[in-house]
Structure 1
Amino acid sequence: MREFKNFVVVKFGGSNFKIADDYSKVIRKIREMLEFEKSKALVVVLSAAYGVTDKLIWAVNNFQSIDVHSFLNELYDLHASFLSSNDNGGYSQTNEELQYLKSKVFELEKIFDALKLLGKVPDFAKDLIVSYGERLNAYVVYRLLLREGLDFELRNPKEWIITDGKFGNASVLLEQTRALFEKGLSEWNANHSIVPGFYGSSKNGDLTLLGRGGTDYTATVLAYALNAEYVVLFKDVDGLLSGDPKIVKNPMLLDKLSYDEIEELSYFGAKVVHPNTVEPIKNSSIPLYICNFLEDFNLSKCTVISSEKHRSERCVKSVSFTDDVAIVQFFGANLGRVPGVLGEIAKSMAQAGLNIKFVITSQTAINLIVSKKDLPEVMRVSERLRLIEIEEVSYRTDKALVAVVGYGLLDTHGIAAKVFGALAEGKINVDMISAGACEVSMYFLVDAQNVKDAVRLVHKSLFEEKNN
């Protein structure tokens, strides 16, 4: 086998694998990439087929009542049908392929049987079961590539990616992962690779998921560990847009963003990339391209995310939102100026493994903005606090957060006036504002029922009206 000079990492998401014919398109895209980068090793990272992760999560949540055998037969039939896809047409599965596929699918039967006896689903078991979506899809694509005469190796991320061991939403231990790759670099450099995304392994050897959308994260982790030239995420959109096309009119395609800008957008609502995607490649300045799967491959037509701090003519690059916010409010006389209170609150949350999105304080209140899923635990921790300064703790879940992101927006005259002027004209009240914590973004809270109107009005003011 020849030795390649460098690596390129490409990722295909679930939306690229909806029907059997889509697999032929993916194989053609991989051929296109191989032709474009003849001297480089291609590392292809794959999500589960469309809808399969949701099916597996549903099965886990209903493990007591489902007919496991029927469910697994459906899972097998689906992936067996994908194995029929090739560019020459016809039904091409071999007995060897089908037998192996069936054996992998029905590994889950023993796991489900054990869960029924146990009467509950331990976290490690849920992560293990849900990871099968990526495993099965990677095997299908791998076999299709071999059938086409393309030289690929199927690799197991459990052997290469080390995580912090947090089930369901693990973070990758980058330096330890990279050390593994340095020892095995010649193996990766010998041929092209197929890698299922979405999971890794803790130091103890437990399989741990990287959170929904975690295949993006897998791709950039591999890019960092292999010191890749660049990463491509193939999506079913042209790239990153100035707003959600389901909400705003005529969103603009963004040709470039910085790492900071995409981190802010993904953290507060934009679902184009996993929130941890940028972290592995940021310090190594590895470019990330978001490209339309249906278009001919051309990096100049993709959104590129890099270390460049590009300031656009409008300053604002995009408007995003999330309704996954809850406000936990601590009240007390002079609460805002008593030393140590906020620190004690934050320390207690950290010890419980809870993330605070951001904090807004006043003389008589401290407001924590957290994820709704964390609210019950946040309230439990809050009620255990023994601080005499805190007189009352309450929460709200009727708000949503709007993020306005772009270099220069905080020091450009008139941006804030346009944003809040548009909201005032639309009679939308703003509850809380956070600006200045990061040079590329500002956030504000509105009633959840008004959030889409708020995004629409702000986007119109910044991108659609004349004289912007």
Structure 2
Amino acid sequence: MRVFKFGGASVKDANSIKNVVRVLKHEGFSDVLIIISAMGKMTNAFENIVDSYIKESDDLTVNIEYVREFHRTIIVDLFKNNKENMLFDLEKLLGQLSGFFISNKNNDYNFIYDQIVGYGELISTAIVSCYLNEIGISNKWIDVREFVKTDSNYRDAHVNWEETALKISEINASELIITQGFLGANSNGITTTLGREGSDYSAAIFAYCLDAESVTIWKDVEGVLNSDPRSFENSILLEQISYNEAIEMAFYGASVIHPKTLKPLENKKIPLFVRSFYNLSKKGTIVKSGLNLFPEVPCFILKKQQILIAISAQDFSFMVEHNLSDIFKILHNYKLKVNLIQNSALSFSVCVEDKFNNFKLFLNDLTVNYSVNYVENVSLYTVRHATENAIKLVEGKGKILLKQVSKGTVQLVMQ
């Protein structure tokens, strides 16, 4: 069994879906399980639906109609024989979404988010599966929520590995399987999500439970690059990376591989390939145990929309263990992701991201006992395998607010 993952860019329109077929015909599709994300920027579109629903905004109807027309256009462009059936299935899924709006009594944002946003994956996989069947590539569509079982930590659910492995073991691995990334379900069958960009993680979960031969993430770039070409010129393809190096890069925020993806693969020594769905002759990047970084060049990782916080005790006492324990507890309570820490005698600095929009609540709690200064909307640059020239390149991108150097790795918070 091989596991393929196709992200939103690979299924963004009818021609892109036809290109997925080209990939499958080139690579072979027997004993393959395919994970597919929401189409194009549809996750963003469904997030707009979430916001308008919660705010009871008049934009709700407009946002739903945008999603409907986006998918209708793809269906009309793509299908010859099954067009009407697929349009009916689209309306059926959107009807389920409308049913949630009517029946929901839960006001928790994270719960509501998970019940709405996952329709992007359900619609995309239904379209791709139906199209493959229409052109003679027989496949089975499965609902990932019946297989990936999680807790109820909405928007960042934790996998129940024992139950998930048992469910996935029931899959007939000899046929082509189409399923969704990003989604799971709790013990009550309620939809959960694995975190933004969690489809890579979904691929790793299935690979681990099926003892897969490999995982391939198909992208619109040649493989894993040493930098994001949107932020750095002359990006270099990394031909091979060890699991440890890839985990380090993911930890620091490299966006090509989801942070949770790598450990399940490493545990079973399943190689991960990152390849271009445009240029199938290219081998891309392989992530595998025992491989050094090749070529060994500086790697640049950029995380935007960060918050730099400087915290000190109100009585000017030293920032020692009990202070730090207290601060980390508050950070945990408000789900702020810590990406850098630096401590001195009187101050504790931390660079965080606020993906759950809890920063103001965190600030109210923290300022009860601490003096706090903060700067919002800063950028965190991390340079792995840093050289003097690489550091100078980053330092030229703005005002340095904080710099931290450890063996081979330099981090800079910039404004």
| Interval of TM-score (by shorter of Structure 1 and Structure 2) | 0.7 to 0.9
Aligned residue for 2:270, secondary structure, equals: coil
Note if 1:233 corresponds to 2:220.
no
Report 1:315-464 matches (<5 A).
Answer: 315-332=296-313, 333=316, 335-336=318-319, 338-372=320-354, 373-385=357-369, 392-397=371-376, 399-406=378-385, 415=387, 417-421=388-392, 426=396, 430-436=400-406, 441-446=409-414, 448=415
Among 248, 251, 259, the residue aligned to 1:264: 248
Among 23, 30, 35, the residue aligned to 2:24: 30
Note if 1:11 corresponds to 2:5.
yes
Superposed displacement of residue 245, structure 1: 1.6
Q: Is the 8 A contact 1:327 1:396 kept in 2?
A: yes
Q: 2:164 maps to which residue? A: 177
Aligned residue for 2:188, secondary structure, equals: coil
Report 1:112-123 matches (<5 A).
Answer: 112-114=101-103, 122-123=109-110
CA distance in 2, matches of 1:71, 1:355: 30
CA distance in 2, matches of 1:263, 1:429: 29
Q: Is the 8 A contact 1:56 1:129 kept in 2?
A: yes
Taking structure 1 as reference, are residues 308 and 72 closer, same or farther at Cα in structure 2, changes over 3 Å only?
Answer: same
Note if 1:149 corresponds to 2:131.
no
Give CA deviations for 1:120-146 in whole Å, capped at 9, x if unaligned: 575323311111111011011111111
Among 198, 207, 217, the residue aligned to 2:191: 207
Aligned residue for 1:320, secondary structure, equals: strand
Q: 1:291 maps to which residue? A: 275
Please tell me whether Structure 1 or Structure 2 has the larger radius of gyration of its CA atoms.
Answer: 1
Aligned partner letter, 1:82 = I
Aligned residue for 2:25, secondary structure, equals: helix
Give CA deviations for 1:376-430 in whole Å, capped at 9, x if unaligned: 2432332345xxxx5x222222532111124xx5xxxxx3x44445567x49654
Note if 1:253 corresponds to 2:237.
yes
Give CA deviations for 1:175-200 in whole Å, capped at 9, x if unaligned: 44223323x1xx33242200011110
Aligned partner letter, 1:349 = L
CA distance in 1, matches of 2:235, 2:13: 29
Q: Is the 8 A contact 1:60 1:121 kept in 2?
A: no
Report 1:273-284 matches (<5 A).
Answer: 273-284=257-268
Taking structure 1 as reference, are residues 109 and 121 closer, same or farther at Cα in structure 2, changes over 3 Å only?
Answer: farther
Aligned partner letter, 1:140 = I
Aligned partner letter, 1:124 = F
Aligned residue for 1:364, secondary structure, equals: coil
**How many matched pairs?**
409
Aligned residue for 1:443, secondary structure, equals: strand
CA distance in 2, matches of 1:311, 1:101: 45
CA distance in 1, matches of 2:394, 2:84: 63
Q: Is the 8 A contact 2:9 2:220 kept in 1?
A: yes
Superposed displacement of residue 366, structure 1: 1.2
Q: Is the 8 A contact 1:257 1:309 kept in 2?
A: yes
Taking only the aligned residue pairs, the percentage that are identical comes to 24
Taking structure 1 as reference, are residues 422 and 50 closer, same or farther at Cα in structure 2, changes over 3 Å only?
Answer: closer
CA distance in 2, matches of 1:110, 1:199: 19
Aligned residue for 1:133, secondary structure, equals: helix
CA distance in 2, matches of 1:317, 1:114: 53
Aligned partner letter, 1:22 = S
Taking structure 1 as reference, are residues 97 and 355 closer, same or farther at Cα in structure 2, changes over 3 Å only?
Answer: closer
Give TM-score, length-normalised by structure 2: 0.88
Superposed displacement of residue 158, structure 1: 0.7
Which runs of 5 or more residues in structure 2 are unaligned? none
Superposed displacement of residue 362, structure 1: 0.8
CA distance in 2, matches of 1:136, 1:69: 18
Taking structure 1 as reference, are residues 104 and 398 closer, same or farther at Cα in structure 2, changes over 3 Å only?
Answer: closer
CA distance in 2, matches of 1:423, 1:133: 37
Superposed displacement of residue 103, structure 1: 1.6
Taking structure 1 as reference, are residues 421 and 384 closer, same or farther at Cα in structure 2, changes over 3 Å only?
Answer: same
Give TM-score, length-normalised by structure 1: 0.79
CA distance in 1, matches of 2:398, 2:333: 37
Taking structure 1 as reference, are residues 356 and 47 closer, same or farther at Cα in structure 2, changes over 3 Å only?
Answer: same
CA distance in 2, matches of 1:19, 1:31: 19
Note if 1:108 corresponds to 2:100.
no
Q: Is the 8 A contact 1:174 1:280 kept in 2?
A: no
Superposed displacement of residue 159, structure 1: 0.8
Taking structure 1 as reference, are residues 104 and 419 closer, same or farther at Cα in structure 2, changes over 3 Å only?
Answer: closer
Q: Is the 8 A contact 1:83 1:93 kept in 2?
A: no
CA distance in 2, matches of 1:303, 1:267: 18
Which runs of 5 or more residues in structure 1 are unaligned? 1-6, 410-414, 449-468
Aligned partner letter, 2:318 = L
